Amino acid sequence: MTERTESDSRRLLRRLRDTLAEPGAGQERLDRIVRLIASSMGTEVCSVYLFRDDETLELCATEGLKRESVHKTRMKLGEGLVGRVAKSSSPVNTANAPAEKGFRYMPETGEEIYSSFLGVPIQRLGEKLGVLVVQSKEARSFSDDEIYALEVVAMVVAEMSELGAFIGEGDALAAPHKHAVMFRGGTGQEGAAEGRVWLHEPRVVIINPVGDDPVKEMERLNKAVADLRLSVDAMITTSDNGDAEQAQILEAYRMFANSRGWMRRMEEDIARGLSAEAAVEKEQSQARARLETVPDPYLRDRLHDLDDLSNRLLRILTGQGQDTGAEMPDNPILVARNIGPAELLDYGRKLKGVVLEEGSVGSHAAVVARALAIPLVIHAEKITTEALNGDHILVDGDQGMVHLRPDETVARHFREKIAMQAAAQSRYASLRDQPATDKAGTTVALHMNAGLMADLPSLAGSGAEGVGLFRTELQFLIRSHVPKRGELAALYARVMEAAHGKRVVFRTLDIGSDKVLPYMKRVEEPNPAMGWRAIRVGLDKPGVMRMQLQALIRAAAGRPLTVMFPFVAEMSEFTEARQKLLDEIESERSLGHKLPSILEVGAMLETPSLAFAPDAFFEMADFISIGGNDLKQFFFAADRENERVRKRYDMLNTSFVTFLEKIVARCDRAGTPLSFCGEDAGRPVEALCLAAIGFRMLSMRPASIGPVKHLIRRVDLGELKALMESARASGADNLRPAVMDWLSRQDV
């Protein structure tokens, strides 16, 4: 084998590209490619292995091994040397392959006579496509230069595959992005939707991975990098808000954008014959492969930064920005790695569903998806590399599943499910103006949770009696700056107007924990959920809370005003916050402003401690609302954001139900109205049990009002209460089995 020169490399890449232009089916092209590579690299063997499914590689073309083994020889990811290359996404280079650990002898190929082996991954933006191998009889290690040359070739093969050059007979040669694929993720928001993929950041397509003129390609790269540096500098200047962490990230960006190592590797790629964009992508693929194996979170973050920068550079070079000119399809389902709340809100109600690779149940995007009432699936791993704009997609938010390019049988079943849900919703619509009264005449008031102006139309549509929880932090989360008092007052006034006299419970800002405002200084805390959040921030740094209270008072201007303080852990916090509100009323009065006609001040009971507060607290609060999401997390010491432990604890656990009953009893004694506004209030069975133990007001997402009302109207709550009591008396640790058994005997 000869020492490779850059011009050899360029010649080979050009020849490879020419095979793309030549007629012929995929297999012929692959055969031609392996011949070309073997002769150019001076090796006896060149083979291409492609993934047949996520776990299996198949020999798809070879020069030098026995022809009859093509499409027969297969290995699992990690198996043999080829499997090792694929699994580790890095080259394997050995002078004596049969002596290598993990070598697997495959007699049908006749490869035992070849001693040296060099395999490199064929990958595209972190997506594993296959392995490219050269082998020779002579026992020798391949030089760094040869490894590098083969990696460049593998990059071109990956791009050719993406462009569909190898499509033909057989699964292994099937076109990429054509198969049906199912993703199992997690539920972010329930519901089912069918539609077409709309990628938040469309895939960059590289039409020509091979550059004809290295000087020209180098100029293109240099110009694009200069643009990139300017845009990073601009980001740094405009975001100079004193946030040390953000500044650090941007500095890291600047460091990469000016990194000589990164530039030098891309320049070498170009010298070998890649186009500027293919060079960027090659380095990006390798960085992504490294990302999968790096355990150090700091380094992972830096590699993420590099990935992000490479993306920007690719978009500059290909001119494929976010706005690709593609038209959003009908029934768009948004597919993204992750998305911020403001961006999601920009898409608004056009979207039929959202699928994210990352995200969490409590993330801001999830909160917005909930407000928009669209199904959301999170943790759908690698969907952005699989999905293309316009692909047919089914989103099952109930099961946390996604079917991409489903076959017709799956789609038919799915449509039946959607039709059933729609039929149920229309049945519920007929109940809209009916009260949630049980068979014995007990009535439960059903209110809705909201957080955006966009939620308000649901007030009339759902039949909710009012807004039992208006989460004001959403307005803060979707902005890039602290909203001004006037802005907020106008917004709250619009919310009150849209409610047409129905009661709206405004919860003051609940930030901290998972809800970190983009423009606020982030305080590193060991355990943010139990840290400086909600009313604790409001009392320690009262500026924002006072501004918000003023905005609420001004918005009310002669109308009733209901304010609720979140996350109150002891009576004195409530007393202090309430006093701040009363002080603001006084100062508004002295300014001659119109005051609210009625003022109600309540507290959220979200920590077990408050349930044991002195009687004076229950007497002072105008109302109490249980934030079940937080109360459950602290009662069971189980993080609501942690999928592993979250699902372990059930609201119908006997201890929790007993605890809730104690709160009901204390409120009853004090004559304080009590409601429940956590997610459990919107689950029909849980809602029924809450009503049975004495809750007369529940606040939930609008879509739950119909199902909850339907169920309450079909049962006798007193009977259910007696049943729950007897299950507890008989020693049940969880009341659900008894409740479900009882329900199965009801006419629901």
Cβ-contact 11, 40 below 8 angstroms: yes
Smallest distance from the beta carbon of 640 to Mg ion, in angstroms? 9
Among 630, 652, 663, 738, binds ligand PEP (CB under 6 A): 630
H-helix or E-strand spanning residue 109: none
Task: Verify binding: residue 283, Mg ion, rule CB under 5 A.
Answer: no
Piece of the chain touching Mg ion by CB under 5 A; list 383-391, 491-499, 606-614, 702-710: 606-614
| Only segment of 387-395, 443-451, 454-462, 625-633 that touches Mg ion (CB under 5 A) | 625-633
Our finding on whether 305 is near Mg ion (CB under 5 A) is no
Instruction: Choose which of 31, 281, 510, 588 interacts with ligand PEP (CB under 6 A).
Output: 510
Exposure string over 554-575, b if 16+ CB within 10 A, otherwise e? bbbbebebbbbbbbbbebebbe
- Out of 203, 471, 580, 728, the residue judged to bind ligand PEP by CB under 6 A: 471
Should residue 630 be labelled a site residue for Mg ion when binding is judged by CB under 5 A? yes
Among 143, 442, 575, 629, binds ligand PEP (CB under 6 A): 629
User: Among the residues of 114-167, which ranges form H helices?
Assistant: 144-162
DSSP 60: E
- Which residue is it, tokens 């550079």? 313
**What 8-state DSSP symbol labels residue 192?**
E
Does 596 help bind ligand PEP (rule: CB under 6 A)?
Answer: no
* Interacting partner of 677 out of ligand PEP, Mg ion, none (Cβ under 5 to 8 A depending on kind): ligand PEP
If one asks whether residue 678 binds ligand PEP (CB under 6 A), the answer comes out as yes
Per the rule left: phi > 0, alpha: psi between -120 and 50, beta: everything else, 64 is: left
Write down the least CB distance from residue 627 to Mg ion, Å. Answer: 4
Q: Which does 678 bind (CB under 5 to 8 A by kind): ligand PEP, Mg ion, none?
A: ligand PEP
Q: Is the CB of 332 or the CB of 678 nearer to ligand PEP?
A: 678
Cβ proximity of 715 and 439 under 8 Å = yes
Instruction: Return the structure tokens found at 228.
Output: 């990139």
CB–CB of 458/449 below 8 Å?
no
313 or 505: whose CB is closer to ligand PEP? Answer: 505
**H/E segment holding residue 675:** strand 674-676
What's the min distance (Å) between Cβ of 192 and ligand PEP? Answer: 24
Using CB under 6 A as the binding rule, whether residue 188 contacts ligand PEP is answered as no
The number of residues that bind Mg ion (CB under 5 A) is 3
**Cα atoms in the 13 Å half-sphere on the side-chain side of 584:** 21
- 680 makes contact with Mg ion (CB under 5 A): no
* Residue 677 binds ligand PEP, judged by CB under 6 A: yes
DSSP secondary structure letters along 267-316: HHHHHTTB-HHHHHHHHHHHHHHHHHH---HHHHHHHHHHHHHHHHHHHH
Site for ligand PEP in 114-173 (CB under 6 A): none
Residue 214 or residue 566: which is nearer to Mg ion going by CB? Answer: 566
Using DSSP, state whether 207 is helix, strand or coil.
coil
Three-state DSSP class for residue 603: strand
Among 628, 684, 702, 707, binds ligand PEP (CB under 6 A): 628
* 122, 216, 318, 687, 698 from 678: Cα distances, Å: 49, 61, 47, 10, 9
Q: Which of 195, 627, 628, 702 binds Mg ion (CB under 5 A)?
A: 627
For residues 108 and 64, the answer to whether their CB atoms sit within 8 Å is no
Q: Which of 606, 682, 700, 734 binds ligand PEP (CB under 6 A)?
A: 606
Q: Using CB under 6 A, pick the residue from 176, 627, 702, 706 that binds ligand PEP.
A: 627
Query: Could you list the residues that contact Mg ion (CB under 5 A)?
Result: 606, 627, 630
Query: Could you list the residues that contact ligand PEP (CB under 6 A)?
Result: 469, 471, 510, 606, 627-630, 677-678
